[in-house]
Amino acid sequence: MKISVSSLGGVGEIGMNMYIYETDRYAVIVDCGVKFTKSDEIGVDLIIPDFSYIETIKYKKIMLIITHAHEDHIGAVPYLIKEYPDIAVVCGRYSWDILNKRLDEHNISVNQIYIEDFKSFEWGDFEITAYPISHSIHGTYAVMLKIAEEFKVVHISDYKIDSSPVTCTPFPLKEFISFGKDGIDLLMADSTNVIKNGFTKGEYQVTKGIEEVFKKASGRIFFTTFASNTERLQTVFNAAEKYGRKVALEGSSMIKHVDTARKHGRLSFNDDILISRKQVEKLDDNKICFIATGSQGEGVSVITKIAENDYSNIKVRKNDTFIFSSRIIPGNEHRLIYIMNNVYAKGGSVITADDLPIHVSGHAAKEDALLLLKILKPKYLVPIHGEVQHLVKHKKLAADYGMHDENIIFFLSGNKIIFENGSFKEMQEIPAGKRYVDLNTEEFLTSDGLKERKKLAINGAVVVVNSAENVENIKEDDIIIQLIGFSIEKEYINILKQSIIEYSQIEESGINQKIEFSEYTEQTVKRFFKKRFNRRPFISIINTHNGAV
């Protein structure tokens, strides 16, 4: 039987994870996430996979399995279900509580099935088992697939081998060893952190660093991390209680994740430690800890607004301590530097993982990845979940371990691997790409549309309004020129006007017909700004009279 594995995102990039396992009649999608935007992707709030390939396989029975509730794994689910409402969604209870809130925001209902730890279920040609594993969010699973009773796959996109986490599930080494005792056919494994030596440190390693900050801070503490990292939040609540501070939660996603974790018994603290923003005003600064969103410097986050003195009545004060307890996602550096400089300028201080051990990764380092290879003994390895450099390093790690080069398959988003009778046969290309989401309009922006926005941002726009009834008698007063996003001296505006009204002096000659006024004006404006200012603005020509074209 032919079995295929495809990716619509998450390979060769960080974010937008989406993988598809197929037989002739069935398909299992693993995750459907978003990619967060960069500063030059103007007016774009989210990036999701292009689902065009799903259209080609929609005749199959399709199931979506969610490994965990990070946005790069669930954020695009509402958009997928809007287009393909018959897809069944399978996930753990913790992930469902978070995902269901997203679906409610889009007024979407789905055919939902709960995962039961270590219990197998069937979906046509697939026998599927979910193994709870350690990561930085509760309810994370590795997915074990037996396809057509002959092909064993382990899909483990986010993990670390942590035997004693704070509140998350310890990594089930015993069960993995049992599953891999006879080897497996294919391992699809996380590559994000394989460039780091050793094992990834356990969550308990951050306790000492966080407590040291709480012990020494003389003013208010502002703590920020990923809202989903409730293990880290447990450490903060413990430190706040130990050093006599009350906690105020700021940011809707932070509040939602704390509520979900408490509901599932994964976050524990006394109710009286939580206070409202009004109650904060009655306490001394050294009795206050804010836990807020904004660890990546997001423009609308609480930490960003506080740093800009733009958040309610909370302003940065002298002796405030801001703790950034997360890794910096590539591309966000400049945002965070801006925020930290704002904090310092207002008399506060900043603590990062460069100063104290206040963060550990949720992703496998080299030794974690090697241990996985040793206990699962895969015939084939496909590095996933990472940029190209991470995939290449993972491939080298496996080769150094002793895997044959031809059994380590390098693939990227838009690739489809075909296996037949248990062996790799070929790789194909499938439709794949990105769709840019503007949350203000809920519309998708095309790549061309994004290019236009970038062009506008860099080069500005020129609007030429012509009020002449007859362009053959056009005068300077008939032309208004409006520049948007930049300015030039008035003398240049006058020169451009003169160039435009020269249209009336152009004579038709021989077979050459005189071009229309709008076309002539656009060419004139384009030439003027390219030659004089090396600028290529967006150009709009408006004729107020129908006859003037």
**CATH code for the domain of 192:** 3.60.15.10
349-351/221-224 β-pairing: unpaired
Beta strands in 303-403 (DSSP E): 321-324, 349-351, 378-384, 386-387
In a domain, 449, yes or no: no
147 and 57 in one domain? yes
Helices (H), 243-379: 252-263, 277-280, 302-307, 333-345, 366-376
221-224/288-292 β-pairing: parallel
| More reliable by pLDDT, 90 or 14 | 90
- Taking only the tens place, the pLDDT of each residue in 415-469 is 999 999 999 999 999 999 999 888 777 778 777 778 888 888 889 999 999 999 8
Backbone angles phi, psi at 142, to 5 degrees: -95, 145
Backbone angles phi, psi at 411, to 5 degrees: -140, 160
Q: Report how far residue 67's alpha carbon sits from residue 432's, in angstroms, rounded to the nearest whole number.
A: 22
Q: What is the pTM of this model?
A: 0.86
State the residue range of the domain holding 35: 2-198+361-443
181 CB burial (10 A radius; 0-12, 13-18, 19+): exposed
Domain boundary among 443, 475, 509: 443
Give the DSSP H or E segment for 155: strand 151-156
39: confidence class by pLDDT, cuts 50, 70, 90: low
389 and 312 in one domain? no
Q: Report how far residue 247's alpha carbon sits from residue 241's, in angstroms, rounded to the nearest whole number.
A: 9
Position 513 scores a pLDDT of 65
**For the chain, what is the domain count?**
3
Comparing CA positions, the residue from 44, 108, 41, 98 lying closest to residue 75 is 98
Backbone angles phi, psi at 489, to 5 degrees: -65, 155
- Taking only the tens place, the pLDDT of each residue in 111-151 is 899 999 999 999 999 999 999 999 999 999 999 999 998 89
In a domain, 243, yes or no: yes
* Strand, helix or coil for residue 140: coil
In a domain, 422, yes or no: yes
In a domain, 241, yes or no: yes
In a domain, 453, yes or no: no
Position 312 scores a pLDDT of 84
